[in-house]
Amino acid sequence: MAVEALGALAIAFYMYHFAEPPSDGITTNSTLFFPFFKYLRPDIGWLFIPFAMIVIVGAANAVNLTDGLDGLAIGCTTFVAVAYTILAYVTSHAKISAYLGIVHLPQSGELTVFCAALVGASLGFLWYNCHPARVFMGDTGALAIGGSLGTIAVFTKNELLLIIIGGIFVMEVVSVIIQVVSFKTRGKRVFKRTPIHHHFELMGWAESKIVVRFWIVSAILLLVALSTLKLR
């Protein structure tokens, strides 16, 4: 966690002090953009640094917690990466961003290439990671992928939208938090086992059923996230 926080600090510090700001001349790199709200854009100043660190470290560990069934984490990652490929492109395009009324970040065009590469790499990995898996990502892959998604969210100014796009990852983390807090305060478990995908396993769901249904939810969240470009 200390190493993760140090890496996240370097990224957040760079974004706050050195990265090219939005081209509108009004907002800054420390401005937060809220999904569904066109004019809710508070500038949180130096607090952006710890906020960005939480986003990056949180995303890294959320993907790591999700990596427990064959194809689950990488499948959900694919949907998130697709969403950020689209978001990176539209935020980098002057005319499209102006039409949609979103922040214009010319440098995000480079992130489009990275996000698209992540989509392709995820699909290639999924080919061998689907049940029964022959290749596993482990902590090394999960933390790197999650950290990448968090960094992309910060660089494209879609940090809060990551909560929607990565809803499966959020659900996995929240299930663990609820379980730990409940057990320590009440001595009782809310779920049969956490992260929550193990809860469904103990309910008798087949592994493939859990994974596919989580993918379906990820696809729905992808569409909801993209709808925020117009529903604002």
pLDDT in tens, 37-85: 988 999 999 999 999 999 999 999 999 999 999 999 999 999 999 999 9
What's the rounded mean pLDDT across residues 120-129?
A: 97
Instruction: Name the 3-class secondary structure at 43.
Output: strand
Of the ranges 35-44, 120-129, 159-168, which one carries the lowest mean pLDDT score? 35-44
What's the rounded mean pLDDT across residues 192-214?
A: 96
Cis, peptide link before residue 21, omega less than 30° from 0? no
Report field, pTM of the whole predicted structure over 0.85 = yes
> Please, which pLDDT band fits residue 10 given cuts at 50, 70 and 90?
very high
pLDDT for position 75:
97
pLDDT for position 64:
96
% of the chain beyond a pLDDT of 90: 93
CB 55 within 8 A of CB 156: no
197 has pLDDT over 90: yes
Q: Where are the domains of the chain?
A: 2-17+46-227
110 token code pair: 């480079």
The greatest distance separating any two alpha carbons of the chain, rounded to the nearest whole angstrom, comes to 56
Of the ranges 12-26, 58-72, 215-229, which one carries the lowest mean pLDDT score? 12-26
pLDDT in tens, 169-188: 999 999 999 999 999 999 99
% of the chain beyond a pLDDT of 70: 100
The Cα 20–Cα 13 span in angstroms is: 13
pLDDT for position 232:
81
What DSSP character marks residue 25?
A: S
pLDDT for position 23:
87
Average pLDDT, the chain: 95
